[in-house]
Amino acid sequence: MDPGDALAETWYAVFLGALGRHNESLRRILHAEAVEPLALSIRLCVGRCYVYARRFEQALEALAGLLRSEPGHRLTTIWVARTLCALDRPGEAVDLLQRLPAEEHTPYVRSTRAYALAAGGRDEEARAVCLGMQEDLRHGRAGTLGLAPVLTR
């Protein structure tokens, strides 16, 4: 693989992380970031690789930095929220997700919010979010995968 191909390095790093080869994954993704330091997708994957390695403080640092430079970026917001939940800070995750504009409340955002609500002991609110997503599914406005993060709780 060409070490100058930051995108290939990124996807290989994600693949290695999925295999549990976290040290190698992090080495590759940090190299990719050095090659393309401004690439949003690569910077997001840095945080994701830290999450996969269960290095949540480093993940939060990377992802929060990205969110500061790209405020309101939906996927980054979701990953910051997921990381906050892993750090047992679900209230902050809920607050962060609620700051997204209503048109950004995709099934993925809503399921992540339901997960954070449940993690924070707010079960009734989490159920209400899930019921709304089930209703959307029933009317063809969402797919079944929207509920997956909630079901893992």
Helical spans, DSSP H, in the chain = 6-18, 22-35, 40-52, 56-69, 74-86, 90-98, 107-119, 123-138, 148-151
Give residue-wise pLDDT tens across range 19-59.
999 999 999 999 999 999 999 999 999 999 999 999 999 99
Comparing CA positions, the residue from 87, 146, 77 lying closest to residue 119 is 87
Give residue-wise pLDDT tens across range 82-97.
999 999 999 999 999 9
pTM above 0.85, yes or no: yes
pLDDT at 143 over 80: no
pLDDT at 2 over 90: no
